[in-house]
Structure 1
Amino acid sequence: MANAVSRDLPTTRYCATPDVYTKQLAEQPGFAEARVALDVEALRTVARGIFAARAGVTRIPVVVHVVWHEDDQNISDEQIQSQIAVLNQDFRKTNADIIKLPEVFRSLADDAQVEFALATTDPGGEDTDGITRTHTDTRSFTYDDAIKFASSGGADAWPADKYLNLWVGRLSGGLLGYAQFPGGEPSTDGVVVLDTAVGTVGTASPPFGLGRTATHEIGHWLNLNHIWGDESGCVGTDKVDDTPNQADANVGKPAFPHVSCGNGPNGDLFADYMDYVDDDVMVMFSAGQIARIQACLDGPRNTFELVEDSVLAQRNRERLSGTDTM
């Protein structure tokens, strides 16, 4: 059972990925052009039938950098392992709570064909448990990437083409986490998560105590946008065809249906991992989002191992032929 720590914790989801993206556009030469090219290629790859090209599971080694100031922030190995378990359930569509998904949306949910494991070898070729621990004098961090450098009280990244860097620490301003989209600087590539929003045990605290912040942020790392497109008033887009257009972020525990932007009768897909709802509400990625993830793994993040899987290969052949009954 998760144990709440005795301090103020966020009650509404706040992801700073759009803030980081805006900062990168302003500060990193060539980043805007790279992002446009990646989106164009993602559309082309999805149109070609990416599932046929990637009939397997991508396995991603994870290094968790725990950056702590007070003892309770130095989360346990068990809490970290519980986070890895959540990621594997969410990205393989084996999460038990998917039964909460309204019936009308169940045909949209799918298996992302991505698995995660703590790294077993460090950049120097030595054995590792996939966890680094850094005591810092910094009381809290924000989305300025200071947590990602030893020189500013954090921990340096491991090579981003070989590992998913996941930084865990105390964040300020109600921030739950943030990620870097593909195409940015390798030294800052990865995701950041508030220490009390990691996993399902230890200090993991509701309403963000089921590990879904990391699922959400890794979605960004794999090139997914927020489902409402980060623009209010029905003008934003997540660049995915099968997610209904919605007016803004949903928070807390919306009642079904939550209709906006003329998307009735079924309304917003608020149970999606890329919305802003509580952990116990978000339960799925859509097939369109997964096609975009797979395009990312076939493109800018193609350095991670793809393991062939005969069951997935047959399923994807059926998908493309129109005989899939999943």
Structure 2
Amino acid sequence: MKKLFFGLASIALLFSACNNDTKEITLDQEIDMSDFYVYTDSADDLTNKSNTGKEINKTCGTMSNLNRLLAENPGLEKKMFDIEYHTRKLINAKGKPVGNPGGGGSDGGEPDIDVLRIEDNLNIVIPVYFHIILPNANDVSNAQIQSQLNVLNDDFSKLNTNLLPSGATNFINDATNTDISFTLAGIVRHNDNTSSWGTNDSVKRSYPPVSPSTQLNIWVCNLGSGLLGYAQFPGGSPDTDGIVILHESLPGGSASNYNLGRTASHEVGHYLNLRHIWGDGRCRQDDFVEDTPTSDGPNYGCPAYPTVNCSSTDMTMNYMDYTYDSCMYMFTDGQRNRMRAIFASGGPREIMIQ
């Protein structure tokens, strides 16, 4: 949405905020961080208006969880700042030759290896480890787990067969293949009578992640409070890294309108450094993606097209909104680049693809 590079004044502000472990950048890669934020007004996330005007509970607890983690760990904000800086540097440099603009550079204008890690069609394969924690953990079958993996692979590869809303021609070319796929690493089941785990990571501490630096851990359990899931952004503790989803949101589950497996697609988006598409700040804050429109809050149900907020048409079919599973359709190129940047050299999930 917002342009990510300005002048020397923004660079001066940036260097005053960063310590020595942030690499120096050249003038043709100046990075503006003035719009960066981590804390959000969680009240905006608790209750929102659907397109029918009926108040409903939030469906994703990721930002409330982030607020808690930031309060508990004063160093997390700096880590997330550095990750965002690294991401913006790569995206700004995307497709540009190394060296001064127009000068070709001393290396003959070859693209930076970090840029290639974003731009090429290298398929990033993420192993996934499922933790099933329910009174009867066998209530979730192996077939359901495989169906969930199939949904993730379809959604991240632009194979979702759901259709755009009638008339949504301005978004028809924005759906993209992220070249990120998922494979099963393992399943472990735990019989546990806990009726509501919430978003305080107690389920993760009770059943720790397996190799979180190289595997995506997904906890499937009872959540309560109207929640479908929550995730941890890159930069958080490895002891709690991964996503948690309501077992009823799995394909074939009993969560009405949210049982096609797209809660996992949404939460994995957070795990790969995507914000909610409305930026969690009404029209005041951005999701840091160039090709997604500004909005003032989540959309629910299957909104008619166009749905207009903040003087722009909402991309209600994006996986990072709150619409019904059957009405979610797409990630954008900007979201693709943002996700892939965390796997580049120096990125927080680099080790996953080494």
| Smaller-chain TM-score bracket | 0.7 to 0.9
Summarize deviations over 1:5-58 as a string: whole Å, max 9, x none: xxxxxx765100001110111101310000111111111111121663342010
Which structure has the larger Rg?
2
Alignment of 1:215 onto 2:261: no
Q: Which amino acid aligns with 1:255?
A: A
Summarize deviations over 1:237-289 as a string: whole Å, max 9, x none: 101111011111111111000011111xxx10110000111101111001111
* Corresponding residue to 1:63 among 123, 129, 132: 129
Partner of 1:77: 142
Alignment of 1:22 onto 2:67: yes
Alignment of 1:226 onto 2:292: no
* Corresponding residue to 2:352 among 280, 295, 304: 304
* 1:73 positional shift: 7.3
Partner of 1:164: 216
Aligned residues of 2:131 and 2:190 also touching (Cα < 8 A): yes
Summarize deviations over 1:153-186 as a string: whole Å, max 9, x none: xx11112111100000011100100000000000
> Normalized against structure 1, the TM-score is what?
0.81
Q: Which amino acid aligns with 2:78?
A: E
Partner of 2:294: 245
Partner of 2:249: 197
- SS of the equivalent of 2:162 reads helix
Partner of 1:285: 331
Q: Whose RCO is larger (CA < 8 A, sep 6+)? A: 1
* Corresponding residue to 1:113 among 155, 159, 179: 179
Aligned residues of 1:140 and 1:171 also touching (Cα < 8 A): yes
Return structure 1 stretches of 4+ with deviation > 4 angstroms: 98-101
Aligned residues of 1:74 and 1:133 also touching (Cα < 8 A): no
Q: Which amino acid aligns with 2:349?
A: R
Moved more, 103-112 or 189-198: 103-112
Q: Partners of 2:84 and 2:137 in 1: how far apart?
A: 41
Unaligned ranges ≥5, structure 1: 1-10, 120-129, 307-326
Aligned residues of 1:246 and 1:268 also touching (Cα < 8 A): yes
* 1:235 positional shift: 0.8
Q: Partners of 2:333 and 2:254 in 1: how far apart?
A: 29
Q: Which amino acid aligns with 2:158?
A: K
Q: Partners of 2:348 and 2:66 in 1: how far apart?
A: 17
- SS of the equivalent of 1:60 reads strand
Partner of 1:261: 310
Moved more, 79-88 or 156-165: 156-165
Partner of 1:141: 197
Q: Which amino acid aligns with 1:300?
A: P
Aligned residues of 1:98 and 1:284 also touching (Cα < 8 A): no
Q: CA RMSD of the aligned region, Å?
A: 1.7
- SS of the equivalent of 1:270 reads coil
Aligned residues of 1:223 and 1:293 also touching (Cα < 8 A): yes
Q: Partners of 1:221 and 1:31 in 2: how far apart?
A: 15
Summarize deviations over 1:192-241 as a string: whole Å, max 9, x none: 0000001x23x343300111000000000000000011112x11210111
Moved more, 80-89 or 130-139: 130-139
Fraction of identical pairs, as percent: 38
Aligned residues of 1:58 and 1:114 also touching (Cα < 8 A): yes
Unaligned ranges ≥5, structure 2: 1-55, 95-113
Moved more, 21-30 or 98-107: 98-107
* 1:149 positional shift: 2.2
